[in-house]
Amino acid sequence: MGAENIALNHLYDSVTTINSKAFYDWNSQDKIAETTVEGWMKSPGHRKNILTPYFKKEGIGAVISPDDKVYITQDFC
């Protein structure tokens, strides 16, 4: 038996354009990780997966899409 948590995050919070030049408010790796786990813990189903004691293994994967979205998955078995 297994479970999966999936999250969507972003590489930056905002973009400001001045004279056609973009300035990004980049998120750190720590902030992306922290906000992802916060989101999972606020979701009853995701929280249950994280706190279930009989899962023996966990895997986490992350990928950045061409449009700067960060997809994170957490798999339990």
Residues 4-43: tens digit of each pLDDT: 888 999 999 999 999 999 999 999 999 999 999 999 999 9
**So what's the pLDDT on residue 43?**
94
Residue 33 CB-density burial (10 A; 0-12 exposed, 13-18 middle, 19+ buried): middle
The answer on pLDDT for 49 being more than 70 is yes
Q: In which band, very low, low, confident or very high, does the pLDDT at 2 lie, cut at 50, 70 and 90?
A: confident
Q: Name 7's bridge partners.
A: 72
Helix or strand holding residue 39 (H, E): helix 29-42
The answer on pLDDT for 1 being more than 80 is no
Residue 36 tokens read as 């992802």
* DSSP classification of residue 58: E
Closest by alpha carbon to 4, among 46, 33, 39, 42? 46
The answer on pLDDT for 74 being more than 80 is yes
